Amino acid sequence: MIEKRQALTNWRFKAADETEWLQAVVPGCVHTDLLRSGRIDAPFYGTNERGLQWIDKKDWEYETSFEIAEDMLRLPHIELVFDGLDTYADVSVNGKHVLSADNMFRVWKADVKQLLQAGINRLHIRFRSPIMEDLPKLEKLGYPLPATNDQSETGGLGDKKVSIFARKAPYHYGWDWGPRFVTSGIWREVRLEAWTGGRITDLFIRQDQISALEARVTAVIEIETDTVWSGTLQLRTEGFNWHKEVRLSAGVNTVELEAVIREPELWWSRGLGKQRLYTFTVSLHDGGREVASRSARTGLRSIRLVREKDAEGTSFYFELNGKPVFAKGANHIPNDSFVTEVTEERYRHEIASAVQSNMNMIRVWGGGIYEADRFYELCDEYGLLVWQDFMFACSMYPGDGAFLENIRIEAEQNVKRLRNHPSIALWCGNNEIDSAWAHYDENAGWGWKQQYTQEQREKLWADYEAIFHRILPLAVSTFDPLADYWPSSPMQDLTGDIHQHAHPETSTGDIHYWGVWHAVEPFENYKSKLGRFMSEYGFQSFPEERTVRSYAEEADMELESDVMVCHQRHNSGNRLIKEYMDMYLKNPKDFPSFLYMSQVLQGEAMKMAVEAHRRRKPYCMGTLYWQLNDCWPVASWASMDYYGRWKAAQYYIRSSMKDIAVSIDSEDSRVDLHVMTDLPEAFDGTLLINAYKFDGTVIRSLAVAAVLQPNSTAVVYSAPAVELYGEYDPAEVVLQATLTSGSEILDRKEHYFVPAKEIKLAKPAVQITELQGAEGIAYRLETDVLAKQVWLQAAQEGIFTDNFFDLVPGVPVTVQFLARDLDGKAFAPAAAESLKLHSMADFVSLA
């Protein structure tokens, strides 16, 4: 058996109606190639997006010439393999058509043995315009399908929304946080694969029964041979070895080999244990000689979605290796509008940032892409569980036979590609479609179904059920049989009646709560509008000034400038940020101050939500906010901007998601101090409670025991607010709670007795002392009066171990700077270059 591969490089491209060829980068897309060739302006700058909408109306051609090695050409089987073609493509080799593609999410292959020749070969691809391809489908259907976020007007199409007809990343057509760049191109590797005799084409380590005592797995091996073959099949991993004799028929064979590992080291999500990974290698042997092999890396773990009746409804939580997990994390969107621009370093920065923020789960949202292998490998390595959506979001889809078959193959390929990753915790059919359509409740939903006749409604719902209740769950049960499938997020249960659709008051299923933001409900509603698992909620902010100035000039630096509106894709986004700011915070002095205050506002919202969800454990067992990252520089719900710069919210979330944390809540003039632990062992610590005047005078001080059962929450102290601030002006008093274990400070939180806009701030004088220690340079900060939301900045990219924190006189805070590292470490301690410090007093008018 022989197998050889050859990657195809040296590409060029042109518009189909032009003659000049330009250099192309593959993987890539036409937009990035045009930019590198100097043919278009920077897509993200200013309002340039609007002037680039012509690109998706054209056909584009890509081609390369290549020589194939003589020993490879002699092999009897040679396939041309595309890991990703975006999206409608006709492929020819040496002038002969070999395949037509119509799905960005599929691998495409063609047998090209008979077409290849010694010397120069030519590979040509014509990408048909996804817009011109799909407009006739809309006309043929006779009525539009709902696609709320398809920005067809930006694309010059009026109300003609065609995104639903293409198996292509939905967000390419625009979203309420992203631009409209409908790409075409070769977005994953292209190669030739040649073989003779046989080859192992797939290896799945099915985890049948996993415990700390033993792991029972079955290696499911797919082998392709061109003749009958007999020999030995061997499976090995780290000192363990299993084998069996096999007889293979010509064609594709599936062989299973059972294996038992005694006392395995289990894979755990971050915070619960180590991320132990095993590499399994399967090989074929002929007379003692290895003739073919394939490896797969996985972690040994059992995971399930627990949905059981209880006194308050039905649970919704993940159980990992028998332990209930409170899921802490965020929703992930693609890191770039042009996905081939995402490097491994950018993936690592995102995943490491999530881990630095004390997360243990990330949801790959259904309007983007099935991410690159490296993304999931990093989740495996760092211990992030993955809630994996299929790529369907906020739309109704066609149900013709060809479309459904296309989806069936897409689902099979992607489940098979990702199923070995121990991080995969759940497969979910789609984002928000069940609740948007709300088939069984005439008064619910987004108003979609009311636009259609009864006959059309039934047809659209039948098409929905074909995809999400039959095709996708069958793909999961067939190819990842021990994994759980959830049809739509959010949803109560698959009941086939009015109880199926989610709403904020439900006591079963998962919830997307958007009353805060869309409905302008107060932040305090996060404490009452919660369910068993909060899979979406969020609040917007602007990125920092440095990021804003990457797309705007000085003249654009105002809230309603054309550029700011272009870089705010929610219809009411800027108005809502200002409206909430007027409700909760002091007025910013100018537009740069507004940027800072918007971040503080977002941070306060996320803190209230995350901590409210955690305090309700075990009723609520998950909090995944919207959203972790951005695909371009923009005002959005992201906690980390396009350049990976942490907003204030990321630091707030890092604090609120600590495995052991303090949370201070106030209701009816009473203050409750909660301690929360997500760890599997009991906790015994001390909570130090101090009330300070803003000048540092201590007016109340006490210590209380903080004793918790494993994975639990508790109120460890409660008192009337007036008892804590006494006869002093509550607008000049801060309560600080410090959680300790022995001499170690685990967490510290502040609480104010009046709304933030009423706090009497003074201008602080903050002193910074540089300290040299075993772990590098640190900075100790001290102040003379309360310094609120201290913001540290360095000239180089990176994060601080704490930021946007409140500094109390007499309570110094020591932080380190962690530079963004390009050598595979994500973050590394470093000196902060040109260190700057601001606090809220710098951005508001003081009385």
Q: Is 599 exposed, middle or buried (0-12, 13-18, 19+ CB in 10 A)?
A: buried
**Is residue 180 within 8 Å of 155, Cβ to Cβ?**
yes
Q: For position 551, what pLDDT does the model report?
A: 98
Q: For position 323, what pLDDT does the model report?
A: 97
Read off the DSSP letter of residue 500: G
Q: For position 265, what pLDDT does the model report?
A: 97
Round to whole Å and give the CA distance between 756 and 767. Answer: 24
Q: For position 503, what pLDDT does the model report?
A: 87
Average pLDDT over residues 223-244: 94
Q: How confident is the model at residue 725 (pLDDT cuts 50, 70, 90)?
A: very high
DSSP secondary structure string, 287-328?
A: TTEEEEEEEEEE----EEEE--EETTEE--EEEETTEEE-EE
Q: Burial code of 533-548, b = ≥16 C-beta within 10 A, e = fewer?
A: bbbbbbbbbbbbbebb
Average pLDDT over residues 410-439: 98
Average pLDDT over residues 479-505: 95
Q: How confident is the model at residue 136 (pLDDT cuts 50, 70, 90)?
A: very high
- Tens digits of residue pLDDT in 366-421: 999 999 999 999 999 999 999 999 999 999 999 999 999 999 999 999 999 999 99
- Tens digits of residue pLDDT in 95-114: 999 999 999 999 999 999 99
**Is residue 163 within 8 Å of 145, Cβ to Cβ?**
no
Instruction: Indicate whether 482 pLDDT > 70.
Output: yes
Instruction: Indicate whether 31 pLDDT > 90.
Output: yes
Round to whole Å and give the CA distance between 812 and 308. Answer: 47
- Tens digits of residue pLDDT in 823-846: 777 899 999 999 999 999 999 988
Q: Look at residue 334 and give its three-state secondary structure.
A: coil
**Is residue 800 within 8 Å of 647, Cβ to Cβ?**
no
CA distances from 86 to 129, 174, 258, 640, 708 (A): 10, 16, 39, 28, 53
**Is residue 36 within 8 Å of 23, Cβ to Cβ?**
yes
Q: Look at residue 190 and give its three-state secondary structure.
A: strand
Cβ contacts of 337 within 8 Å, gap of 6 or more: 43, 44, 171, 172, 178, 179, 181, 631, 632
Instruction: Indicate whether 822 pLDDT > 70.
Output: no
Average pLDDT over residues 35-43: 97
Instruction: Kindly state the tokens that stand for 109.
Output: 């292959």
- Tens digits of residue pLDDT in 743-783: 999 999 999 999 999 999 999 999 999 999 878 899 999 99
**What are the residues facing 206 on neighbouring strands?**
218
Q: Burial code of 769-807, b = ≥16 C-beta within 10 A, e = fewer?
A: eeeeeeeeebbebbbbbbbbbbbbbbeeebbbbbbbbbb
Read off the DSSP letter of residue 550: T
Q: Look at residue 14 and give its three-state secondary structure.
A: strand
CA distances from 618 to 357, 512, 533, 588 (A): 22, 18, 10, 40
Round to whole Å and give the CA distance between 710 and 161. Answer: 51
Domains belonging to the chain, first-starting first, are 2-191 (2.60.120.260), 197-298 (2.60.40.10), 658-760 (2.60.40.10), 761-847 (2.60.40.10)
Q: At residue 62, what are phi and psi to the nearest 5 degrees?
A: -125, 145
Round to whole Å and give the CA distance between 494 and 483. Answer: 17
Instruction: Indicate whether 151 pLDDT > 80.
Output: yes
Percentage of residues in the chain having pLDDT higher than 90: 97
Q: For position 847, what pLDDT does the model report?
A: 67
Percentage of residues in the chain having pLDDT higher than 70: 100
Q: For position 833, what pLDDT does the model report?
A: 95
Q: For position 778, what pLDDT does the model report?
A: 96
- Tens digits of residue pLDDT in 281-332: 999 999 889 999 999 999 999 999 999 999 999 999 999 999 999 999 999 9
pLDDT averaged over every residue in the chain: 97
Q: Which of 621, 356, 429 is nearest to 509 (CA)?
A: 621
Round to whole Å and give the CA distance between 452 and 440. Answer: 15
pTM of structure: 0.97
Q: Is 461 exposed, middle or buried (0-12, 13-18, 19+ CB in 10 A)?
A: middle
Q: For position 560, what pLDDT does the model report?
A: 94
Round to whole Å and give the CA distance between 144 and 490. Answer: 24
